[in-house]
Amino acid sequence: MPTLKYRRIRGDMIKTYKIITGIYDKEASPVLKLNLTTKTQGNQYKLDTHRTKYDLRKYFFTNRIVNVWNIVYQILLS
């Protein structure tokens, strides 16, 4: 049986994919900021990081998935 950490990351990645591709309703889903600069290598679905001042906001869904999404998606494209 997979660990809780793995299942949580997997669920976050599935939810992120659905939000980015538009499967979820735009009105109800959180706002994920795509990195649209032409200088980035990789993919068109790279997310932009948000700087937070407090730890409370750092662990929200929209902030905790950015690094994991960019790393996992880069591995899948390689």
CB 16 within 8 A of CB 32: yes
**Angstrom distance (rounded) from CA 19 to CA 32:** 8
Measured in whole angstroms, the distance separating CA 58 from the mean position of its chain's CA atoms is 13
Q: State pTM to two decimals.
A: 0.75
**Would you tell me how many other CB atoms lie within 10 Å of the CB of residue 36?**
9
What residue numbers bound the domain in which 55 lies? 4-77
Number of structural domains the chain divides into: 1
Q: Copy the structure tokens of residue 71.
A: 């790393």
pLDDT averaged over 10-residue windows placed end to end, the chain, 78 residues: 91 90 83 72 75 82 86 74
